[in-house]
Amino acid sequence: MDKLISLAKRRGFVFQSSEIYGGFGSCYDYGSLGVELINNVKKAWWKAMVQKRDDVVGLDSAIIMHPRVWEASGHVESFSDPLVDCKQCKKRFRADHLLEAASMKPDLEAHKEPPKSIKDIVCPECGGELTEPRNFNLLMKTFIGAVEDETSQAYLRGETCQGIYVNFKNILDSSRQKLPFGIAQIGKAFRNEITPGNYIFRTREFEQMEMQFFVNPKEADKWYDYWREQRMQWYKDLGMKDEFIRWRQHSKEELAHYAKAAWDIEFDSPFGGWKELAGVHNRGNWDLSRHGEYSGVDLSYTDPTTQEKYIPYIVETSDGAGRAMLAFLLNGYEEVETRSGDEEAKHEKEVVLHLHKSLAPIKVAVLPLSKKEELQKVAHEIKDSLAEKWMTQYDETGSIGKRYRRQDEIGTPYCVTVDFETANDKKVTVRDIETMEQERIAIGDLGEYFREKLEK
């Protein structure tokens, strides 16, 4: 993990927020490569969930909504995590996480058998006694307008899906969709997490990619199975290794009282093993019933063919963009023996970041073999023409081995080298990050060549 964090900082994927002020708790900024990667994660999600489908449409709702939304959703009353403190070392933990970890891997020294409740657990850091759990509300508050009192209090959204529920009727009336259909949204969410950490895994400000699929209650199970399969396949299609992700079903105790079923996709993290990456939930008719009740607007649906009237069930798919980016980075990080030909670093391990081409921040790097003007000129022309379509980088500094190495560690799938032969044969050498094969391609064919490689 430390190696990945250091690479991510050195190459401009992720920075600690407000670093020159000493950083700000669990907030991160995405640098010039990080913003490309997270945007590509979001693009890939949108393409699979909206662009390629007839039965899902998009939405971008406001971050700040009517405070009643959060009363109806149950967040004001119970969007809380159970917090425990160690009486000895004063460290703070989430009781549910401690229970989950101890139940999965009973620590034979401290707890002879799986714990029944938090009372059976001691501090995992120092073995000290823990306090009783206290509930801590995660909603972030703000004030709207000039006066800061209870009447002006509002919330930064704790999840993006509430914006979807309150627009269900608007979308239904304006998009000519019929059930079953879905609404997708990508956007920021805020939670006053009590135990943030593990880098960008758990932050207080993060981005969610959520899709709510509205169905006839009789068909909810069928759609639930369907969306579970789709979401897992999405990660696999983007290169997630089989051994790196898995399903986990929520236990009865974990299930929200209204939820009919909930499964998480987990990834094998270097910070304490399997961790939640995404969720697929059958939320029943809780959301539309509650918003109907609190707003006074009827959110039921009448089937235009059968005239059957019902409150739709919702199958939700919920993914974190930052968490997905972290998982793709961890999944793709590999240290290898020298392969770039970088003479100066012959004895060091090299990093190769295996990213799916659609996710790679830079698609093509253009490298003139020397700083001779005629090579630079051709290389710039190639770079400018490819940049019309793809994120490209021009690099003329250092040996060619060093430059290959720089591109390998940020996951650039292709390097184009302009050499001394180029002036004669009007061809360049294209190197593939995965196969390391080099091909001689005519400059005039590069556009078609990369279209084939990057877009098919």
Q: Which two tokens stand for residue 91?
A: 């460290």
Q: Which two tokens stand for residue 253?
A: 């105790």
Token pair 């662009």 in the structure block, residue: 51
* Residues in contact with ligand ATP, shown as a per-residue x/- string from 433 to 452 under the rule CB under 6 A: --------------------
Least CB distance to ligand ATP at residue 176 (A)? 30
Q: Which is nearer to ligand ATP, 11 or 202 (CB)?
A: 202
Least CB distance to ligand ATP at residue 112 (A)? 27
Contact with ligand ATP (CB under 6 A) among 203, 282, 340, 429:
203
Contact of 278 with 317, CB cutoff 8 Å: yes
193 near ligand ATP, judged by CB under 6 A: yes
Contacts (CB under 6 A) with ligand ATP, residues 295-324: 318-320, 322-323
Least CB distance to ligand ATP at residue 192 (A)? 10
Q: Which is nearer to ligand ATP, 326 or 362 (CB)?
A: 326
Q: In what order do the strands lie in the sheet with 80-85?
A: 92-94, 80-85, 134-137
Q: Which is nearer to ligand ATP, 104 or 423 (CB)?
A: 104
Q: Which is nearer to ligand ATP, 159 or 342 (CB)?
A: 159
Q: Which two tokens stand for residue 122?
A: 């001691």
Contacts (CB under 6 A) with ligand ATP, residues 236-255: none
Q: Which two tokens stand for residue 439?
A: 């091909």
Distances (CA, A) of 75 to 37, 220, 256: 32, 24, 12
Contact with ligand ATP (CB under 6 A) among 11, 75, 157, 191:
191
Least CB distance to ligand ATP at residue 399 (A)? 40
Least CB distance to ligand ATP at residue 189 (A)? 7
Contacts (CB under 6 A) with ligand ATP, residues 363-392: none
Least CB distance to ligand ATP at residue 139 (A)? 12
Backbone angles phi, psi at 124, to 5 degrees: -70, -15
Least CB distance to ligand ATP at residue 310 (A)? 25
Q: Which is nearer to ligand ATP, 130 or 278 (CB)?
A: 278
Q: How far apart are the first and last CA of the chain?
A: 33
Q: Which residue is nearest to ligand ATP (CB)?
A: 320
* Residues in contact with ligand ATP, shown as a per-residue x/- string from 137 to 176 under the rule CB under 6 A: ----------------------x-----------------
* Residues in contact with ligand ATP, shown as a per-residue x/- string from 75 to 114 under the rule CB under 6 A: ----------------------------------------
* Residues in contact with ligand ATP, shown as a per-residue x/- string from 263 to 282 under the rule CB under 6 A: -------------xxxx---
Least CB distance to ligand ATP at residue 287 (A)? 13
Contact of 116 with 98, CB cutoff 8 Å: no
Nearest to 256 by CA among 301, 217, 314: 314
Least CB distance to ligand ATP at residue 424 (A)? 53
Amino acid at 382: I
Backbone angles phi, psi at 268, to 5 degrees: -85, 95
Least CB distance to ligand ATP at residue 26 (A)? 8
Strand partners of residue 427: 442
Contact of 326 with 204, CB cutoff 8 Å: no
Tell me, by CB under 6 A, how many residues bind ligand ATP: 16
Q: Which is nearer to ligand ATP, 41 or 430 (CB)?
A: 41
Distance between CA 18 and CA 278 in Å, rounded? 28
Q: Where do contacts with ligand ATP occur on this chain (CB under 6 A)? A: 159, 191, 193, 202-203, 206, 208, 276-279, 318-320, 322-323
